[in-house]
Amino acid sequence: MSLLIVGTMAFDALETPFGKVDRIIGGSGTYAAWAASNYTSNTKMVSIVGGDFPKEEIAALEARGVSFDGLEIVPDEKSFFWSGKYHMDMNTRDTLVTDLNVLARFDPKIPDSYQDAKYVMLGNLSPAVQISVLKQLKSRPKLVIMDTMNFWMDVAMDDLRTALSMVDLLMVNDSEARQLSGEYSLVKAAKKIQAMGPKYIIIKKGEHGALLFHGDKIFSAPALPLEDVFDPTGAGDTFAGGFIGYLTRIDDISFESMKAGIIVGSSMASYCVEKFGPTRLKEITADDISARVDEFVALANFEVR
Amino acid sequence: MSLLIVGTMAFDALETPFGKVDRIIGGSGTYAAWAASNYTSNTKMVSIVGGDFPKEEIAALEARGVSFDGLEIVPDEKSFFWSGKYHMDMNTRDTLVTDLNVLARFDPKIPDSYQDAKYVMLGNLSPAVQISVLKQLKSRPKLVIMDTMNFWMDVAMDDLRTALSMVDLLMVNDSEARQLSGEYSLVKAAKKIQAMGPKYIIIKKGEHGALLFHGDKIFSAPALPLEDVFDPTGAGDTFAGGFIGYLTRIDDISFESMKAGIIVGSSMASYCVEKFGPTRLKEITADDISARVDEFVALANFEVR
């Protein structure tokens, strides 16, 4: 099976209570592709970068089975740049700089070589871009998941509604689920969002784990309690990439498989936050992921006699 | 096995986004005893009430196997009264009135008939009262758990340190764990609190569930995602009473049994919040609890192939 990822490839400047970096590789597509590459060697990237984006970063992902036929390189312009500062609780952050650069003109063209993708992840981009990608696919994929954020609810709600009506699964955090639905209760929020289109909703709660909703079924995944979160940047995209990479590998979209995918995605995200940017994500092996999955089993397992 | 509960029996006035009541039975001892009575008919209550406390409330608990040899009734005074108002998120509340009344002179005497108690729950009371109870016990119980709150950290930290050195398990919410330890990370907070005495820490996170820490072991229990929380009053005491009632019944304090106890306590707490005060807690049967435990199993269960 093959996986199509649409997301940013970018530079980030990050400041956390543990330190700062002025320029490190980032972007939702980057994190998702690294995570997914642990489970599939057939990932097709759709993104846009400037002439400043390091060729060796692209080569490193190619070596993990990621195709870049759908990457647009604009030689004379700069890559997307984001700068943010995290507060002590690591759940809130201030955006210091957002330089769209090449992202402002992102109008993805899906190559013919990508048309066989059965699994699709739409990273957090403008809903118009997300819709354009889906419209270019000649056959309906088996699973389309999308990320979004409060910004698009504020400035592009009509497009966002259209995008939601076209996807199978929406992945948002708890405050975004509340804003999108107008409901405080996450159970009610998930029902309202399901009525907008996606039959599956994953609500990410940071240090409190994640919830998966489908019809009347709910799965509550714990987060691994960590002594330190060094840098939370990319944890959500790593989670999403690990989730859909796992489903692509086993080619099954049952509720039970999605539960497993969430644990796999959470395991990778728990590594991601250990170092700045995707540094740690690039280091981990299948054995590391398997060991972390075992920690999740020990953490969540119980039996009532 | 028998269970000793030290806690308040009181009146509450409550206001939530769903309605208000001017005067309803409350108190940590009341909630804990109702919850525990689903698992043991050998509970010994230590508390104090005024002449205004309804005799039928005491009789209803006696019918569930709760002994009141250790209840002091002060005929000419009033019972403890608390009034609070909850905000929309149900996790924050304003205290409107705290009338200590008889509680100001609470100096519990442990009757001889209570000396065989193997399990002890010290509800949220002044640390001096908690210490006094433990000093009166002639043999060390098998398990002593205690609750406390930020107020005692502010006004009686020395006594609180002494109390902590005498108990096996501390049950607090996340903000209290952070205040007590001075650590933001709950993993670090739990380690610091373990060094103060209790070898087991349960950190309650409201709608995000609870964490159990013991040495390097961690258990993460989910909370049941609810459409509505009608009134959260007493949920924590119900959780504690269900937890220790279950352990009293099976007479086992292994980490695995504590995990099960947390699920049992969470199940009862999820019923408690459905109606004002202990109303719903008084209605539920063993079958109801068992059905809710099954919901927790479905909610948390996963398998990664």
Q: Between A and B, how many CB-CB pairs are < 8 A?
A: 92
Class of domain B3-300 (CATH, top level): alpha beta
Question: B263 and A302 in contact by Cβ < 8 A?
Answer: yes
Q: Which of A256, A259, A299 sits opposite B219 (nearest CB)?
A: A299
The average pLDDT across B103-125 equals 97
CB of B224 closer than 8 Å to CB of B216: no
Say which range, A11-25, A36-50, A255-269, A287-301, has the weakest mean pLDDT.
A11-25
Contacts of A219 in chain B (CB under 8 A): 299-300, 302
pLDDT for A286 beyond 90? yes
The answer to whether residue B188 neighbours chain A at the CB level (below 8 Å) is yes
Contacts of B188 in chain A (CB under 8 A): 227
pLDDT for A88 beyond 80? no
The answer to whether residue A304 neighbours chain B at the CB level (below 8 Å) is yes
Instruction: Answer whether 0.90 is exceeded by the pTM.
Output: yes
Question: A225 and B305 in contact by Cβ < 8 A?
Answer: no
Q: What is the pLDDT of residue A18?
A: 86
How would residue A180 be classed by pLDDT, with cut points 50, 70 and 90? Answer: very high
The average pLDDT across B104-130 equals 97
The answer to whether residue B89 neighbours chain A at the CB level (below 8 Å) is yes
The average pLDDT across B259-275 equals 97
Separation in Å, CA of B13 to nearest CA in chain A: 24
Per residue in A192-228, pLDDT (tens digit) is 999 999 999 999 998 899 999 999 999 999 999 998 8
The span from the CA of A163 to the CA of A140, in Å, is: 14
Per residue in B9-44, pLDDT (tens digit) is 999 999 998 889 999 999 999 999 999 999 999 999
Q: What is the pLDDT of residue A92?
A: 76
* Residues 6 or more apart whose Cβ sits within 8 Å of residue A216: none
How would residue B205 be classed by pLDDT, with cut points 50, 70 and 90? Answer: very high
* DSSP bridge pairs for B98: B82
Q: What is the pLDDT of residue B37?
A: 98
- Reduce the secondary structure of chain A to three states and give it as a string: CCEEEECCCEEEEEEECCEEEEEEEECHHHHHHHHHCCCCCCEEEEEEEECCCCHHHHHHHHCCCEEEEEEEEECCCCCEEEEEEECCCCCCEEEEEEECHHHHHCCCCCCHHHCCCCEEEECCCCHHHHHHHHHHCCCCCCEEEEECCHHHHHHCHHHHHHHHHHCCEEEEEHHHHHHHHCCCCHHHHHHHHHHCCCCEEEEECHHHCEEEEECCEEEEECCCCCCCCCCCCCHHHHHHHHHHHHHHHHCCCCHHHHHHHHHHHHHHHHHHCCCCCCHHHHHCCHHHHHHHHHHHHHHHCCCCC
pLDDT for A229 beyond 90? no
Class of domain A9-300 (CATH, top level): alpha beta
The answer to whether residue A220 neighbours chain B at the CB level (below 8 Å) is yes
The average pLDDT across A137-157 equals 97
Question: B305 and A260 in contact by Cβ < 8 A?
Answer: yes
- Residue in B89, B220, B258 to test binding to A, most A beta-carbons within 10 Å: B220
The span from the CA of A141 to the CA of A284, in Å, is: 30
Please, what is the average pLDDT of chain B? 96
pLDDT for B92 beyond 80? no
Question: B299 and A222 in contact by Cβ < 8 A?
Answer: no
The span from the CA of B262 to the CA of B210, in Å, is: 8
Closest residue of chain A to B294, computed from CA coordinates = A304
pLDDT for B146 beyond 80? yes
